[in-house]
Amino acid sequence: MVVHDSVATCHRLCSLEKFLCCIELETGAIILGWFSFLRNVVTMLLAVVAILIRIFVPCEDIVEGLRYMDFNATVEKCVYATEEGFVTMISFFIIVISIGLTYISYRFVVTMKTRNHKEVIPFMTYIGLMTLLSFVAIFRLTWSAIIIGTVTGLFYGYFLLCVGAMYERFLKEHHEKQMAIAECENRTMEGSMKKYEEGVWNVEGVQGIQN
């Protein structure tokens, strides 16, 4: 009895019926989707602001602000980065990536209504990559990187399990739907065959009476 209860408890934990143990899994998935959506929108806006600042704000003012935040910045570095177009290229790259991730996050939220398991895959892949990158940051071998990388990786890992659970749920529903359709088609075909056979017997019976 104890072993059976332990197995059942493990199954419930692995199946992730609840998000953070108290919220419906679908509600938690929607929260994750909108959180990712908003975060990528903010990231995109910050990249746009970075381009505008570099266009309209002199390097001297930028460096002064960076030094105030304890960044090791110089006017020469700022001018070099501007002339080589590093800031613009990096910001443009961030904007493109953020647009793509924003779309993926939005499609994931919509999927909670359409329940299409295939549309969960892009978001699940995105969360998986974020989990991997978070743990990779640990190899910088600084205490801050180790702590932040571990905590962030664990959070993303849990989010990945939740998204994976939603994928499994939608995939199961898809298979059950396909099986129901196939069963309905089989019943329809069997009914048609039965009616056809009854019609054949009736025709043969009438012909026998006429003869």
Per-residue pLDDT of 78-126, as tens digits, reads: 555 555 566 678 888 889 999 999 999 999 999 988 888 888 999 999 9
Determine the Cα–Cα distance for residues 109 and 117; give it in Å rounded to an integer. Answer: 12
Pick 43 or 90 by higher pLDDT: 43
Please, which pLDDT band fits residue 193 given cuts at 50, 70 and 90?
low
pLDDT at 109: 92
Residue 34: pLDDT above 90? yes
In this model, does residue 133 exceed pLDDT 50? yes
Average pLDDT over residues 162-175: 88
Paired tokens of 76: 């020469």
The phi, psi pair for 23, rounded to 5°, reads -115, 145
Long-range contacts made by residues 98-106, C-beta under 8 angstroms, separation at least 24?
98/40, 98/41, 98/43, 98/44, 98/47, 99/40, 99/44, 101/36, 101/40, 101/126, 102/37, 102/40, 102/41, 102/44, 105/33, 105/34, 105/36, 105/37, 105/40, 106/33, 106/37
The average confidence (pLDDT) of the chain is 76
Per-residue confidence band for 8, with pLDDT thresholds at 50, 70 and 90: very low
Distance of CA 198 to the CA centre of its chain: 54
Q: Following CA atoms 144, 148, 151, 157 in sequence, which dihedral angle do they give, to the nearest 10 degrees?
A: -140
Q: Please give the Cα distance from 8 to 14 (Å, whole number).
A: 10
How much is the pLDDT for 91?
Answer: 82
Q: Which residue, 39, 50, 129, 30, is CA-closest to 90?
A: 50
Kindly state the helix (H) or strand (E) to which residue 19 belongs, with its residue range.
strand 18-19
Q: Is the pLDDT of residue 65 over 60?
A: no
d(CA 128, CA 95): 21
pLDDT at 210: 52
